[in-house]
Every structure is written in C-alpha cells, then in structure tokens.
Amino acid sequence: MADFLSDGFDFATLCNGVNAAPTSRGPVMNYGLFYEKPTNSVDIAIELNNEQLSLVQSSPRGGVVQPHPITGRSLVKFKATHLRTNSTILAASWQGRTGYGSKGMPAEVAQERDRILAEHRRRLDATIDYHQTRALAGQILDADGSVMVDLLAEFGVVQPTVACALDVASTNVTNRIIAARRQSEAELGTAAASSWVAFCDATFIDALRGHASIEASLAGYTAAALMLADHRKGALVVGGVTFLEVPSRAGRTYIDAGTAYLCPVDVPDLFTTYYAPADYIESVNTEGLPLYSRAEPLDFNRGVSLESQSNPISICSRPKAVIKLTA
C-alpha cells in the first residue's frame, strides 16, 4: 500500500489530477466574470481609492497650476474560505487485481482515483460558483445559507436597485436597463466596461422575454432566428446587456426569484477570486492553486483517505457598480 502513495497517489500527481479533472461550471464561473488570482496568504487586503474623475481647469502659461486632489485611501481586509471534501478507497479495490508484493497501481484503481477526483472537483467548483454568484448580491453564503462574508457591510455601502416593472405593459424596459447601466458607469468612475452582462433567475428572464415591448422586438426576428435562439444561454440582449439565466444547483438558490444582477465586464480588479494556499506543509507560503488533493493511508493499510480542498475568496471591489434589477 505504501508503494501506491508514491505511485499515483503522491501530492503532485493528485493536485495535477484534481485541477485537470472534468467539471461542470455554472453560468457565472463559466462566463469568466471573476479574474482568478493566486495569493500566498489567506489574508486578502483590498485598497480602496476613492478617485473621482474631474476635468482640469485651464490656466495661463507659466501661471499657477490647479493642484491635483489627493484621493482618500483605505484598506478592507478579508480572509480566504476553507473548503474541504474527502472520500475513501478501501483495500478491497485492489482485491484480485494485483498479485501479492507486485509493484505499480492497477488501472482499475487509477480509474477509481480519477473518478473521485472528478467528483471532488465538481463539488468544489459548484461551491466556488455559488460564492461568486452570491458575491454579486453583496453577501457570500455558506452551504447552509448562513452569511460567510458580507461585502456590502465590509465596504459600507448599499447595493443600488432598479425596478424594471416588467408586470406593467407600458414600461419602457430598454430605457430602464440603460438607466441601470448609467448608474453603474457613474460608480465605475474612470474605469470603462467592454460589455455588460446580467445574471438572472428563471422568473426574471421569463418576465423580461414576455414583456410586451420585448416581444415586439423579438417579433422582428426571422422565423429561423427565433427557432435557433435559446434565451437561457444569452440570446436575449436588451439595452446592450446580455441576460443569462442562472439555475439553482445542488439544492441551493443561486439568485433570488424575480432578480437579476447587472455587471460591467472586463473592468480591471473589479471581480476577483483569490486562491490561497492549502494548509499542507508542501504548500505553506506558496502561490495558491485553485484546487488541492492529497492522500493518506488508513490504519493498518486498509485503504486510502483521499482529500481535496480549495481556499477561495471572491470579491467585488466596487459593490455599488453591480446593479440589482427586480422584475
């Protein structure tokens, strides 16, 4: 058994394996809204620079220059979360598959190892995706629904909300969405978004698609385009914003009913998931990996305990730039 820990169950092989395992990410994580950044510490400090864009007053040549205002700076500190899951491969997995005293790991055991690593990755990625999605709402929730990190409280802000009034036929929905974009742009200051995306629940996107003004716009599509479009996958664009449906997963509600979160895309340092190092001797003070895995023999070599973990913290550094839309 000890040979197997250095032949297919060693730390490097398992870490490479769990990070390369197939996964199924949710819409927010799959979209790549959050930039993933390794860090060598579990403590993350975000520097706030309250810079406001202002124009430069003209002055006579050689005259007195208008001084540039010194912007206020402060630090907001966060701690990476610690996510772990584990499984057991019993010695029975080897029974009848390798001879007594033989070297090397049977293919069936390698397949079982890889299957478990893939299961671990799917669970951990789903959890990270849940954290990222809830970060858009300003509060990262734990698996039991309790608040882990209150971004709004930490930054001392209240999330802006725009009511789209989708239950009123006369509402100019496009104008309301554009107004929400303008509100976000004002919060971004000197930063500029390359595009806009809104992550929403099924109730919101159904109400949006079914609104009289949107139905009228869709009626202008060709029949073929309508047949090919899947509005859950981002085919619905209103006011320059791509709307993506986020389904509930793993028994959890990712986005509350009748709600959407409008987000600017490609704004530097706005959405970041930091990965801290694992609590293993090998990874202390090193750059964090998205996922880790390692194995330990059970008592009396009756099998292997296989653990995987991740240490992420997902932060929106300007929570007021994310606009909550209600149906």
Query: Residue 57 in contact with residue 165, Cβ under 8 Å?
Result: no
Residue 54 lies in a domain: no
Pairing of strands 236-238, 241-245: antiparallel
Do 299 and 88 touch, CB atoms closer than 8 A? no
Q: How many domains does the chain have?
A: 1
Q: Degrees (nearest 5) of the Cα angle 263, 228, 246?
A: 30
Q: What is the pLDDT of residues 4-63, one digit of tens each?
A: 566 788 999 999 999 999 888 899 999 999 999 999 999 998 877 655 545 565 566 666
Strand 161-163 to strand 323-326: parallel, antiparallel, or no bridges (unpaired)? parallel
Domain that holds residue 243: 2-49+73-326
Q: What is the share, in percent, of the chain residues with pLDDT greater than 70?
A: 80
At residue 126, the pLDDT reads 93
Considering the domain boundaries, does residue 108 fall inside one?
Answer: yes
Mean pLDDT of 222-241: 63
DSSP secondary structure string for all residues of 15-29: HHHHHHS-----HHH
Q: What is the dihedral of CA 177, 186, 130, 276, to 10 degrees?
A: 160
What is the percent of the chain with per-residue pLDDT over 90, rounded to a whole number? 57
CA distances from 264 to 3, 227, 327 (A): 51, 29, 20
In the predicted structure, residue 263 carries a pLDDT above the cut 50: yes
Q: Model's pTM, two decimal places?
A: 0.86
State the residue for tokens 């790991």. Answer: 105
Confidence of residue 101 (pLDDT cuts 50, 70, 90): very low
Element of type H or E holding 306:
strand 303-310
* pLDDT band (50, 70, 90) for residue 170: confident
For the cut 50, the answer to whether the pLDDT of residue 1 exceeds it is no
Q: Is residue 59 part of a domain?
A: no
Which residues does 3 contact at the CB level (< 8 Å), separation at least 6?
Answer: 103, 104
pLDDT band at 106 (very low <50, low <70, confident <90, very high): low
171 three-state secondary structure: coil
| Cα 142 to Cα 246: distance, rounded to the nearest angstrom | 18
Whether 56 is in a domain gets the answer no
Q: pLDDT for 127-169, tens place per residue?
A: 999 999 999 999 999 999 899 999 999 999 999 999 999 898 8
pLDDT of 34: 97
How much is the pLDDT for 131? 96
pLDDT, position 189: 85
Please tell me the predicted confidence (pLDDT) of residue 248. 86
Is 66 domain-assigned? no
- Residue 206 corresponds to which tokens in the numbers above? 């159904």
Q: How many CB atoms lie within 10 A of CB 195?
A: 11
User: CATH number, domain at 130?
Assistant: 3.90.1690.10
Residue with tokens 């049977």: 106
Is residue 112 one of the residues assigned to a domain? Answer: yes
In one-letter notation, the amino acid at residue 213 is: S
Tens-digit pLDDT profile for residues 65-74: 666 655 556 7
Residues in the chain: 327
Question: Strand 83-90 vs strand 73-79: parallel, antiparallel, or unpaired?
Answer: unpaired
pLDDT higher than threshold 80 for residue 262: yes
How far is it, in rounded angstroms, from Cα 21 to Cα 7?
18
User: pLDDT-derived band of residue 320, with 50, 70 and 90 as boundaries?
Assistant: very high
For residue 57, is it within any domain?
A: no
Q: Is residue 67 in some structural domain?
A: no
Query: pLDDT confidence of 206, banded at 50, 70, 90?
Result: very high
